[in-house]
Amino acid sequence: MADQWIEETLYDNWGQRFRVKQELARTRSPFQDIVVFESESHGRVLLLDGVVQITERDEFVYQEMLTHVPLFTHAAPRNVLIIGAGDGGVLRRVLEHPGVEKAVMVEIDGAVIELSKKHLPGIAGDAWNNPRAEVIVGDGIDYVARAADASFDAIIVDSTDPIGVGEVLFTDSFYEHCARVLTAEG
């Protein structure tokens, strides 16, 4: 049997590839191609449209920096909004902060959440069932546009690269709404 490899396709002149032990899921959602596989070197890996989003082996590096740095710089973050982060890792890290009363996660692709729950359960841990968590399958752009002024102490955007479904998260309009929904200390 020949080795099976999956190669990331984000850049034309640089990339990474993984030897596949077992493919766990491959599907096309209304938004993107999703692949979850077991690699020899990094445990389970999630790819969206051919781009690595998370690996079990090093997810903590990304998740902890994305979450703890902004939350530790805020005096008392109580309400946190997460845009994207369908694997649940950012939600888990936000909920590690005991002062957080509510963490709202808005992920556009419910298939990413379901596949992560099934194939990457260690990344989110028990966050999916935490009573302080509210998980919304919906459009983060629309959610932020409709959110009340000064309703969040922190906003964490964990999106894909600025191509495909994540492209709209890199606009002035989106960040103007983010600024509006942040508290004065946010």
Three-state DSSP state, 90:
helix
Residue with tokens 């740095």: 69
What is d(CA 149, CA 146) in angstroms, rounded to the nearest whole number? Answer: 9
From 49, 87, 109, 158, the catalytic residue: 158
Q: Which residues pair with 155 in a beta bridge?
A: 81
| Residue 158 is a catalytic residue | yes
Residue with tokens 């999956």: 6
- Report in angstroms the alpha-carbon separations of 41 from 16, 17, 18, 23, 26: 12, 10, 7, 14, 20
- Whether 74 and 153 have beta carbons less than 8 Å apart is answered as yes
What is d(CA 180, CA 174) in angstroms, rounded to the nearest whole number? Answer: 10
Nearest-5° angle of CA 14, CA 19, CA 22? 135
Active-site amino acid positions: 158
